[in-house]
A = this chain, B = another copy of it.
Amino acid sequence: MGKSVRETFRVAAEPDLAVVDPRDRPIGPKDKSAAAEDMTDLGARLDRLQEALYAEATGAGRRSVLVVLQGMDTSGKGGVIRHVGGLVNPQGLHIASFKKPTPEELEHDFLWRVRKQVPHPGLIGLFDRSHYEDVLVPRVEGSISDDALRHRYEEINAFEAELVGRGVTVLKCLLHISPHEQAERLLARLDDPTKRWKYNPGDLDSRARWRDYQRAYSDALRYSDSDAAPWYVVPSDRKWYRNWAVASLLTETLAELDPQFPQPNIDVDAERARLAASLLV
Protein backbone atom coordinates (compact mmCIF):
# COMPACT_ATOMS: atom_id res chain seq x y z
CA MET A 1 0.00 0.00 0.00
CA GLY A 2 1.62 3.29 -1.11
CA LYS A 3 1.14 6.70 0.37
CA SER A 4 -2.23 8.37 0.06
CA VAL A 5 -2.64 11.45 -2.10
CA ARG A 6 -2.96 13.56 1.04
CA GLU A 7 0.23 12.15 2.55
CA THR A 8 2.06 12.70 -0.72
CA PHE A 9 1.19 16.37 -1.15
CA ARG A 10 1.10 17.36 2.53
CA VAL A 11 3.54 20.15 3.16
CA ALA A 12 6.88 19.19 4.75
CA ALA A 13 7.58 19.92 8.41
CA GLU A 14 10.12 22.58 7.41
CA PRO A 15 8.54 24.05 4.29
CA ASP A 16 10.82 25.49 1.63
CA LEU A 17 9.12 26.05 -1.69
CA ALA A 18 12.50 26.52 -3.35
CA VAL A 19 13.08 22.77 -3.16
CA VAL A 20 9.67 21.72 -4.54
CA ASP A 21 9.69 21.12 -8.31
CA PRO A 22 6.53 22.58 -9.90
CA ARG A 23 6.78 19.85 -12.55
CA ASP A 24 7.03 17.07 -9.99
CA ARG A 25 4.64 14.13 -10.38
CA PRO A 26 5.20 12.00 -7.27
CA ILE A 27 1.99 9.98 -7.61
CA GLY A 28 -0.82 9.42 -10.07
CA PRO A 29 -1.14 9.56 -13.86
CA LYS A 30 1.96 9.72 -16.05
CA ASP A 31 0.48 11.79 -18.85
CA LYS A 32 -2.45 13.87 -19.96
CA SER A 33 -4.50 11.05 -21.46
CA ALA A 34 -4.08 8.85 -18.37
CA ALA A 35 -5.13 11.85 -16.28
CA ALA A 36 -8.25 12.34 -18.41
CA GLU A 37 -9.25 8.71 -17.78
CA ASP A 38 -8.63 9.11 -14.06
CA MET A 39 -10.71 12.29 -14.00
CA THR A 40 -13.72 10.43 -15.37
CA ASP A 41 -13.53 7.95 -12.47
CA LEU A 42 -12.79 10.66 -9.94
CA GLY A 43 -15.69 12.69 -11.28
CA ALA A 44 -18.12 9.82 -10.76
CA ARG A 45 -16.88 9.22 -7.19
CA LEU A 46 -16.82 12.91 -6.34
CA ASP A 47 -20.29 13.46 -7.76
CA ARG A 48 -21.69 10.66 -5.60
CA LEU A 49 -19.86 11.83 -2.45
CA GLN A 50 -20.97 15.42 -3.00
CA GLU A 51 -24.58 14.33 -3.39
CA ALA A 52 -24.40 12.35 -0.15
CA LEU A 53 -22.86 15.32 1.69
CA TYR A 54 -25.65 17.56 0.38
CA ALA A 55 -28.32 15.00 1.26
CA GLU A 56 -26.88 14.49 4.73
CA ALA A 57 -27.40 18.17 5.49
CA THR A 58 -31.10 17.96 4.58
CA GLY A 59 -31.31 15.73 7.65
CA ALA A 60 -29.34 16.26 10.82
CA GLY A 61 -25.95 16.59 9.08
CA ARG A 62 -23.96 19.76 9.70
CA ARG A 63 -20.78 18.99 7.76
CA SER A 64 -19.25 20.87 4.88
CA VAL A 65 -15.89 21.07 3.10
CA LEU A 66 -13.81 24.14 2.34
CA VAL A 67 -11.09 24.08 -0.30
CA VAL A 68 -8.82 27.12 -0.04
CA LEU A 69 -6.90 27.82 -3.27
CA GLN A 70 -3.81 29.99 -3.14
CA GLY A 71 -1.03 30.60 -5.61
CA MET A 72 0.71 33.20 -7.75
CA ASP A 73 -1.16 34.84 -10.64
CA THR A 74 -1.89 32.31 -13.42
CA SER A 75 -1.23 29.36 -11.07
CA GLY A 76 -4.66 27.99 -11.91
CA LYS A 77 -7.04 28.83 -9.07
CA GLY A 78 -9.79 29.62 -11.57
CA GLY A 79 -8.88 26.56 -13.62
CA VAL A 80 -9.33 24.30 -10.61
CA ILE A 81 -12.74 25.82 -9.88
CA ARG A 82 -13.74 25.19 -13.46
CA HIS A 83 -12.35 21.69 -13.90
CA VAL A 84 -12.67 20.22 -10.40
CA GLY A 85 -15.80 22.16 -9.40
CA GLY A 86 -17.19 21.21 -12.80
CA LEU A 87 -17.13 17.52 -11.81
CA VAL A 88 -20.03 17.88 -9.36
CA ASN A 89 -23.55 19.28 -9.25
CA PRO A 90 -23.12 23.08 -9.28
CA GLN A 91 -25.92 23.36 -6.73
CA GLY A 92 -23.63 21.74 -4.16
CA LEU A 93 -20.87 24.35 -4.56
CA HIS A 94 -20.25 27.65 -2.83
CA ILE A 95 -17.65 29.62 -4.77
CA ALA A 96 -16.09 32.80 -3.42
CA SER A 97 -13.39 34.97 -4.91
CA PHE A 98 -11.39 37.36 -2.73
CA LYS A 99 -9.97 40.28 -4.64
CA LYS A 100 -8.28 43.45 -3.43
CA PRO A 101 -10.39 44.44 -0.38
CA THR A 102 -13.07 47.06 -1.00
CA PRO A 103 -13.27 50.20 1.19
CA GLU A 104 -16.14 48.59 3.10
CA GLU A 105 -14.15 45.41 3.66
CA LEU A 106 -11.17 47.43 4.87
CA GLU A 107 -13.33 48.96 7.60
CA HIS A 108 -13.69 45.53 9.16
CA ASP A 109 -11.41 42.87 10.58
CA PHE A 110 -9.68 40.96 7.76
CA LEU A 111 -11.69 37.80 8.53
CA TRP A 112 -15.03 39.62 8.24
CA ARG A 113 -15.50 39.08 4.51
CA VAL A 114 -14.24 35.51 4.79
CA ARG A 115 -16.67 34.52 7.56
CA LYS A 116 -19.57 35.52 5.31
CA GLN A 117 -18.45 32.97 2.70
CA VAL A 118 -17.96 29.89 4.88
CA PRO A 119 -19.86 27.06 3.15
CA HIS A 120 -23.16 26.10 4.77
CA PRO A 121 -23.72 22.49 5.83
CA GLY A 122 -23.85 20.15 2.84
CA LEU A 123 -21.80 22.34 0.52
CA ILE A 124 -18.30 22.25 -0.91
CA GLY A 125 -16.76 25.71 -0.66
CA LEU A 126 -14.15 26.76 -3.19
CA PHE A 127 -12.13 29.87 -2.28
CA ASP A 128 -10.22 31.66 -5.05
CA ARG A 129 -7.70 33.35 -2.73
CA SER A 130 -8.63 33.79 0.91
CA HIS A 131 -7.61 35.27 4.26
CA TYR A 132 -4.06 34.22 3.39
CA GLU A 133 -3.82 37.24 1.08
CA ASP A 134 -3.85 39.32 4.28
CA VAL A 135 -0.66 37.74 5.54
CA LEU A 136 1.08 37.37 2.17
CA VAL A 137 0.61 40.77 0.52
CA PRO A 138 1.37 43.06 3.50
CA ARG A 139 4.41 40.98 4.33
CA VAL A 140 5.82 41.27 0.81
CA GLU A 141 4.95 44.97 0.70
CA GLY A 142 6.54 45.49 4.10
CA SER A 143 3.42 47.22 5.37
CA ILE A 144 2.95 45.10 8.49
CA SER A 145 5.05 44.69 11.62
CA ASP A 146 6.29 41.27 12.72
CA ASP A 147 4.07 41.46 15.79
CA ALA A 148 0.98 42.29 13.77
CA LEU A 149 1.78 39.51 11.30
CA ARG A 150 2.18 36.99 14.12
CA HIS A 151 -1.12 38.16 15.53
CA ARG A 152 -2.85 37.60 12.20
CA TYR A 153 -1.54 34.04 12.04
CA GLU A 154 -2.93 33.44 15.53
CA GLU A 155 -6.28 34.74 14.37
CA ILE A 156 -6.18 32.56 11.26
CA ASN A 157 -5.33 29.44 13.23
CA ALA A 158 -8.09 30.17 15.76
CA PHE A 159 -10.57 30.85 12.93
CA GLU A 160 -9.77 27.61 11.12
CA ALA A 161 -9.94 25.63 14.38
CA GLU A 162 -13.35 27.17 14.98
CA LEU A 163 -14.47 26.10 11.50
CA VAL A 164 -13.30 22.55 12.07
CA GLY A 165 -15.18 22.53 15.38
CA ARG A 166 -18.34 23.55 13.51
CA GLY A 167 -18.00 20.65 11.08
CA VAL A 168 -16.17 22.37 8.22
CA THR A 169 -13.37 20.18 6.88
CA VAL A 170 -10.65 22.55 5.68
CA LEU A 171 -8.10 21.70 3.02
CA LYS A 172 -5.67 24.30 1.76
CA CYS A 173 -3.96 23.95 -1.60
CA LEU A 174 -0.99 25.96 -2.71
CA LEU A 175 -0.81 25.78 -6.51
CA HIS A 176 2.93 25.88 -7.05
CA ILE A 177 4.18 27.12 -10.42
CA SER A 178 7.55 28.18 -11.79
CA PRO A 179 8.32 31.72 -12.95
CA HIS A 180 9.02 30.29 -16.40
CA GLU A 181 5.55 28.74 -16.61
CA GLN A 182 4.00 32.00 -15.38
CA ALA A 183 5.74 33.88 -18.20
CA GLU A 184 4.31 31.43 -20.74
CA ARG A 185 0.81 31.85 -19.38
CA LEU A 186 0.98 35.64 -19.23
CA LEU A 187 2.25 35.67 -22.80
CA ALA A 188 -0.67 33.44 -23.85
CA ARG A 189 -3.04 35.97 -22.30
CA LEU A 190 -1.44 38.77 -24.29
CA ASP A 191 -1.39 36.83 -27.55
CA ASP A 192 -4.94 35.45 -27.53
CA PRO A 193 -7.70 38.08 -27.91
CA THR A 194 -10.14 35.76 -26.08
CA LYS A 195 -7.78 35.60 -23.09
CA ARG A 196 -6.59 39.20 -23.05
CA TRP A 197 -9.30 40.28 -20.59
CA LYS A 198 -7.52 38.19 -17.97
CA TYR A 199 -4.26 40.10 -18.38
CA ASN A 200 -3.53 42.57 -15.61
CA PRO A 201 -0.40 44.75 -15.96
CA GLY A 202 -0.14 44.70 -12.15
CA ASP A 203 0.65 40.97 -12.30
CA LEU A 204 4.14 41.90 -13.46
CA ASP A 205 4.69 43.83 -10.24
CA SER A 206 3.94 40.75 -8.14
CA ARG A 207 6.10 38.75 -10.53
CA ALA A 208 9.03 41.09 -9.87
CA ARG A 209 8.79 40.07 -6.22
CA TRP A 210 8.74 36.35 -6.94
CA ARG A 211 11.31 35.36 -4.30
CA ASP A 212 9.66 37.50 -1.65
CA TYR A 213 6.35 35.80 -2.36
CA GLN A 214 7.92 32.35 -2.23
CA ARG A 215 9.37 33.19 1.18
CA ALA A 216 6.04 34.59 2.36
CA TYR A 217 4.29 31.42 1.15
CA SER A 218 6.84 29.22 2.90
CA ASP A 219 6.12 31.13 6.11
CA ALA A 220 2.39 30.72 5.62
CA LEU A 221 2.85 26.98 5.20
CA ARG A 222 5.00 26.87 8.33
CA TYR A 223 2.77 28.96 10.59
CA SER A 224 -0.64 27.65 9.59
CA ASP A 225 -0.29 23.98 8.71
CA SER A 226 -1.96 21.59 11.14
CA ASP A 227 -3.58 18.17 11.01
CA ALA A 228 -6.93 19.89 11.49
CA ALA A 229 -6.41 22.37 8.62
CA PRO A 230 -3.61 20.94 6.48
CA TRP A 231 -1.71 22.58 3.63
CA TYR A 232 -1.03 20.68 0.43
CA VAL A 233 1.57 21.81 -2.10
CA VAL A 234 0.32 20.96 -5.58
CA PRO A 235 2.87 20.92 -8.44
CA SER A 236 1.01 23.06 -10.97
CA ASP A 237 3.18 23.65 -14.02
CA ARG A 238 1.13 20.95 -15.74
CA LYS A 239 -2.54 21.91 -15.71
CA TRP A 240 -3.79 18.34 -16.10
CA TYR A 241 -1.69 17.20 -13.16
CA ARG A 242 -2.83 20.09 -10.98
CA ASN A 243 -6.50 19.35 -11.70
CA TRP A 244 -6.01 15.65 -11.07
CA ALA A 245 -4.19 16.34 -7.78
CA VAL A 246 -6.83 18.68 -6.35
CA ALA A 247 -9.67 16.40 -7.51
CA SER A 248 -7.90 13.51 -5.79
CA LEU A 249 -7.28 15.45 -2.57
CA LEU A 250 -10.93 16.44 -2.44
CA THR A 251 -12.18 12.93 -3.24
CA GLU A 252 -9.95 11.33 -0.61
CA THR A 253 -11.08 13.90 1.97
CA LEU A 254 -14.76 13.36 1.22
CA ALA A 255 -14.39 9.57 1.15
CA GLU A 256 -12.98 9.72 4.67
CA LEU A 257 -15.92 11.86 5.82
CA ASP A 258 -18.13 9.10 4.40
CA PRO A 259 -21.30 11.22 4.19
CA GLN A 260 -24.56 9.29 4.51
CA PHE A 261 -27.88 9.64 2.73
CA PRO A 262 -30.40 10.35 5.48
CA GLN A 263 -33.38 8.05 5.88
CA PRO A 264 -36.44 10.23 6.49
CA ASN A 265 -38.78 9.23 9.25
CA ILE A 266 -41.62 8.03 7.03
CA ASP A 267 -43.55 4.78 6.77
CA VAL A 268 -42.40 3.74 3.30
CA ASP A 269 -45.08 1.10 2.79
CA ALA A 270 -47.83 3.49 3.86
CA GLU A 271 -46.49 6.12 1.42
CA ARG A 272 -46.39 3.54 -1.38
CA ALA A 273 -50.05 2.80 -0.67
CA ARG A 274 -50.96 6.51 -0.62
CA LEU A 275 -49.12 6.97 -3.91
CA ALA A 276 -50.90 3.97 -5.50
CA ALA A 277 -54.24 5.42 -4.43
CA SER A 278 -53.40 8.94 -5.57
CA LEU A 279 -55.22 10.73 -8.33
CA LEU A 280 -54.34 9.63 -11.83
CA VAL A 281 -55.84 12.37 -13.94
Contact = CB atoms under 8 A, between A and B. Distances in A.
A264 B268 CA distance: 60
Interface string A41-82: 000000000011001001100000000000000000010011
A11 B226 CA distance: 58
Given A86-B90, A90-B85, A266 B78 contact: no
Given A55-B194, A179-B281, 5 more contacts: A85-B91, A183-B275, A196-B264, A204-B275, A210-B281
A281 B97 CA distance: 28
As for how many copies of this chain the complex holds, the number is: 2
A197 B275 contact: no
Contacts of A91: 78, 81-82, 85, 95, 97, 128
A192 to B, nearest CB: 9
23 contacts: A55-B194, A78-B91, A81-B90, A82-B89, A82-B91, A86-B86, A86-B89, A86-B90, A90-B90, A91-B95, A179-B279, A187-B275, A193-B261, A193-B263, A197-B263, A199-B264, A199-B271, A201-B274, A204-B274, A204-B275, A204-B278, A208-B278, A211-B281
Contacts of A86: 86, 89-90
Interface residues of A, number: 49
A186 interface: yes
A190 interface: yes
Contacts of A113: none
A195 B108 CA distance: 43
A183 B271 contact: no
